[in-house]
């Protein structure tokens, strides 16, 4: 019996080919998979609300590099996460601090890359609070390669007309706790020692128009002049030309001499050939790939590298005309 593979996303610029019919076999992994597009991490987004309601809130964070005269750090990855208006995080395994258990929704979490001004901006809702903690936002800053630079939290200004006090009184927007039982910054186990206010943000706006948070975070970024090597110590790029008719080239940059294996699979996951298998020197390499007997269509090339730093694999799609 035959199963038509699901007709899902096409790679950009790909031929409008029909998915081949494949036999339905006992082993599930042999049935044809969908035709997915390679997307950035599910985290990468500006709007992190995922349907959570509350007072509109824009979060602007400026990342500055201590090792470069505190100038803006471009290309840094910034993750933020915070609780919803009721004090709940998107995360399973509820702790004592949460009375509700959300298991499948990744709300109020997001990632952005800093621009030339070191800025990342998120669209969210004003956070609520939970027992024993003041209102806060978690931040994790990485360099472009994904190495952690800083894990920190942002605190909020307090006082009679502060955003925290005003929003928590806004019952029309669903904030029901008010400030009863609230832990203020001075008593908070994370912020109580921040006498210099380094973790304190600036918050402006109103309940009707929404609030905006501005905050500078200083990290030990790359020292000027040194290359920021990828943690994986290699770089594999898209083959060119792509699509191709007879010959294409896969660029591969290696920091160390490595064992390299390049395998080609069709879209059903069947191995159709080996483009390269052997040793390669550190530096820039170019792997030629001949079309051989491959029929027109989309294929996956998997580059597997083994060297003193460990083992790595990365796959990309290519199209044969």
Span of 25-33, 51-59, 177-185, 237-245 interacting with another protein by CB under 8 A: 25-33
Q: Which sign, positive or negative, has the C-alpha torsion 163, 164, 165, 167?
A: positive
Q: Which sign, positive or negative, has the C-alpha torsion 59, 48, 316, 281?
A: positive
For 231, the enclosing helix (H) or strand (E) is none
Could you tell me the smallest distance in angstroms from the CB atom of residue 125 to another protein? 19
Instruction: Output phi, psi for 115, to 5 deg.
Output: -85, -170
Decide if 274 contacts 264 (C-beta within 8 A): yes
d(CA 306, CA 204): 52
Judge residue 60's burial from the number of C-beta atoms within 10 Å of its C-beta, 0-12 exposed, 13-18 middle, 19 or more buried: middle
265 near another protein, rule: CB under 8 A:
yes
Decide if 1 contacts 307 (C-beta within 8 A): no
Span of 53-61, 166-174, 175-183, 263-271 interacting with another protein by CB under 8 A: 263-271
Span of 54-62, 113-121, 168-176, 306-314 interacting with another protein by CB under 8 A: 306-314
317 near another protein, rule: CB under 8 A:
yes
In the Cβ-directed half-sphere of 51, how many Cα atoms lie within 13 Å?
3
237 near another protein, rule: CB under 8 A:
no
15 near another protein, rule: CB under 8 A:
no
Q: What is the pattern of x (binds another protein, CB under 8 A) and - over residues 212-231? A: -------------------x
For 306, residues 6+ apart whose C-beta sits below 8 A from its C-beta are: 258, 259, 312
184 near another protein, rule: CB under 8 A:
no
Could you tell me the smallest distance in angstroms from the CB atom of residue 267 to another protein? 6
- The DSSP code for 47 is B
- Selected from 193, 246, 259, 313, the binder of another protein by CB under 8 A is 313
Span of 64-72, 200-208, 238-246, 308-316 interacting with another protein by CB under 8 A: 308-316
Could you tell me the smallest distance in angstroms from the CB atom of residue 227 to another protein? 19
Nearest to 244 by CA among 176, 294, 189: 294
Please list the residues that pair with 210 across neighbouring strands. Answer: 206
Decide if 241 contacts 222 (C-beta within 8 A): no
Cα 16 versus chain centre, distance: 30
34 near another protein, rule: CB under 8 A:
yes
Closest CB to another protein among residues 105, 179? 105
- Selected from 184, 244, 276, 312, the binder of another protein by CB under 8 A is 312
104 near another protein, rule: CB under 8 A:
yes
Closest CB to another protein among residues 269, 288? 269
147 near another protein, rule: CB under 8 A:
yes
35 near another protein, rule: CB under 8 A:
yes
- Selected from 13, 16, 39, 226, the binder of another protein by CB under 8 A is 39
Q: Which of residues 63-102 bind another protein (CB under 8 A)?
A: 77, 91-93
| Three-state secondary-structure class, residue 107 | coil
- Selected from 62, 140, 177, 291, the binder of another protein by CB under 8 A is 140
d(CA 172, CA 59): 22
Interface residues with another protein (CB under 8 A) are 1-6, 8-9, 24, 26, 28-29, 31-43, 77, 91-93, 103-104, 106, 109, 140, 142, 146-148, 151, 231, 265, 267-271, 300, 302, 309-315, 317
């Amino acid at each position: 019996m035959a199963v038509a593979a699901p007709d899902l996303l096409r790679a950009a610029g790909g031929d409008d080919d029909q998915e081949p019919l494949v036999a339905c076999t006992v082993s599930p992994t042999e049935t044809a998979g969908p035709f997915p597009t390679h997307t950035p991490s599910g985290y990468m987004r500006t709007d992190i609300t995922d349907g959570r309601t509350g007072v509109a809130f824009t979060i602007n964070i400026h990342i500055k590099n201590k090792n470069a005269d505190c100038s803006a750090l471009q290309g840094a990855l910034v993750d933020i996460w915070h609780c919803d208006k009721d004090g709940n995080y998107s995360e399973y395994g509820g702790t004592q601090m949460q009375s509700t258990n959300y298991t499948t929704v990744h709300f109020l979490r997001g990632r952005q890359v800093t621009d030339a001004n070191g800025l990342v901006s998120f669209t969210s809702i004003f956070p609520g609070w939970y027992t024993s903690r003041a209102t806060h936002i978690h931040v994790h800053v990485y360099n472009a390669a994904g190495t952690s630079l800083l894990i920190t939290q942002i605190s909020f200004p307090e006082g009679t007309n502060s955003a925290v006090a005003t929003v928590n009184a806004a019952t029309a927007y669903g904030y029901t706790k008010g400030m009863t039982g609230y832990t203020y910054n001075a008593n908070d186990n994370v912020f109580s020692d921040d006498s210099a206010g380094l973790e304190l943000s600036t918050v402006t706006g109103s309940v009707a128009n929404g609030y905006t948070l501005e905050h500078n975070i200083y990290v030990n970024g790359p020292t000027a002049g040194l290359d920021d090597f990828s943690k994986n110590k290699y770089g594999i790029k898209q083959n060119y030309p792509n699509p191709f008719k007879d010959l294409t080239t896969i660029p591969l940059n290696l920091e160390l001499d490595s064992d390299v294996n390049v395998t080609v699979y069709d879209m059903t996951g069947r191995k159709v050939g080996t483009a390269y298998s052997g040793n390669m020197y550190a530096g820039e390499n170019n792997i030629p790939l001949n079309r051989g007997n491959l029929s027109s269509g989309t294929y996956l090339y998997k580059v597997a590298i083994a060297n003193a730093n460990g083992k790595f694999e990365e796959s990309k799609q290519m199209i044969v005309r």
